[in-house]
Amino acid sequence: MTEAIAYDVVVLGAGPVGENVADRARSGGLSTAIVESELAGGECSYWACMPSKALLRPVIARADARRVPGLCHAVQGPLDTAAVLAHRDNYASHWKDDGQVAWIESIGADLYRGHGRLAGPRTVTVTAADGTVTTLSARHAVAVCTGTRAALPSLPGLADAKPWTSREATSADHVPARLVVVGGGVVGTEMATAWQALGSQVTLLVRENGLLSRMEPFAGELATDALREAGADVRTSVSVTAVERNGATVSVTLDDGSTLEADEILFATGRAPRTDDIGLESVGLEPGSWLSVDDTLRVEGSEWLYAVGDVNRRALLTHQGKYQARQAGAAITARAAGVPLLATDRWAAHVATADHGAVPQVVFTDPEAASAGLTLAEAEAAGHRVRAVDYDLANVAGSGLYADGYTGRARMVVDLDRETLLGVTFVGPGVGELIHAATVAIAGEVPMDRLWHAVPAYPTVSEVWLRLLETYRG
């Protein structure tokens, strides 16, 4: 057997999470190897965050412009589809990872291309495309940063129907005349918004009774109204029972016995961890499972194995995964240096706590939906004594200046015992840029009487903070 190449840290997965773990480990003086079977840069760079937002930005910009006097008449025509797709291609680096590889080299980490698998404690084998196998050993840590993949339901005919997943939806080179989208979460709602605006006739099928079910109910209600106004057919409380492709046409059977026909069908029905073929069985873990970790991102029961980002299921968001990576890298570096870690210090550089209660998220639809922390239902289910404070964003001075007929809502969820915020949700044009203030207030546990002295600039949409606080104070 070929002798293993030794590193201090071996990282499985060169997406944004793996790259950040490697960067933190290298900055701490640890030798680091990164293993990647696809493109360095990962899902976010090529099939998720970047290409999806590049598709959506022209859609949202046009929608905003259509609400501005003096400009609205100039933007009534269709989008330049070729230009939008070219813009998307540019942001996806044309699905080439030269830039990401150069960055990995610049931090002094070694990139191994191939399929990485655990082969026992602190050992990883890498099988390259030509079949060559390289064995790596880790003195201090192996970090699993392999992310997630689209989870497809078990439906008759689905495999042969060649359905789109999030990857095809963000990288397609043509606009299907008719597109069925299954799933009313973030991916389904965003992609329905994008492709309807690009020229598809979208039918959105949602098993729940509304869109964006993990946010406040009004987020899904306003998103539904906007999609229908744009021409999409949104159907709730409906399920797909079978799919069949006949040439260029997809036939979709619903649970009420009716059928639909489309050119493409997108399933946005959840995610599954990419842990089914990474050798978990060699270290006593179940292949295909989510990996449970402590707040230093170390796998429970292990002294050397870390699981960072989506694979631990704490918060399936790129920015949260990168945050976890920074914390994990600090923890690995400290342990390698023999520094005792105080797990009780929730503000320490090596402890991940932000993914418990202050998670921000923006859904880039028209209107945008942005949230941080808990919804009212989540706060009540967790046993908090809370009060929801609502405000109509249309009644904020800056909203009317932002757009004629501005439609939106705001809610903050207040912990009545501690007089701090547990959650904030904004829905309306441009609200994505408001959410970091809410994140700071929640993570910093800023008392309500101190927030009163954080004066928002006038006339901006952020004046909603003043209106929410006035409503709370009565």
Give, for all 474 residues of the chain, the pLDDT tens digit: 578 999 999 999 999 999 999 999 999 999 999 999 999 999 999 999 999 999 999 999 999 999 999 999 999 999 999 999 999 999 999 999 999 999 999 999 999 999 999 999 999 999 999 999 999 999 999 999 999 999 999 999 999 999 999 999 999 999 999 999 999 999 999 999 999 999 999 999 999 999 999 999 999 999 999 999 999 999 999 999 999 999 999 999 999 999 999 999 999 999 999 999 999 999 999 999 999 999 999 999 999 999 999 999 999 999 999 999 999 999 999 999 998 886 567 778 788 988 888 999 999 999 999 999 999 999 999 999 999 999 999 999 999 999 999 999 999 999 999 999 999 999 999 999 999 999 999 999 999 999 999 999 999 999 999 999 999 998
Burial class (CB in 10 A: 0-12, 13-18, 19+), 91: middle
pLDDT at 360: 97
Closest to 274 measured CA to CA, from 311, 300, 309? 311
Looking at domain 5-41+97-149+273-354, what is its CATH homologous superfamily?
FAD/NAD(P)-binding domain (3.50.50.60)
The residue assigned the tokens 């989506």 is 310
**From residue 162, how far is each of 37, 168, 195, 272, 311 by CA, in Å?**
23, 10, 18, 19, 26
Beta strands in 342-381 (DSSP E): 360-363, 368-373
Going from N- to C-terminal start, the domains of the chain cover 5-41+97-149+273-354, 159-269, 367-473
Place of tokens 């949409």: 461
Helix (H) or strand (E) holding 135: strand 133-144
Structurally, at CATH architecture level, domain 159-269 sits in: 3-Layer(bba) Sandwich (3.50)
- In this prediction, residue 342 carries a pLDDT of 67
Bridge partners (DSSP) listed for residue 411: 390, 425
Alpha carbons 422 and 442: distance in angstroms, whole number: 6
Could you tell me the pTM of the whole model? 0.95
Domain 367-473 has CATH 3.90.950.20: no
The answer for residues whose C-beta is within 8 angstroms of residue 218's C-beta and 6 or more apart is: 409, 411, 425, 427
Q: Where are the alpha helices (DSSP H) in 74-216?
A: 81-91, 98-106, 166-171, 186-198
- Domain 159-269 and domain 367-473, same fold? Reply is no
| CB contact at 8 A, 421 and 395 | no
H-helix or E-strand spanning residue 465: helix 464-473
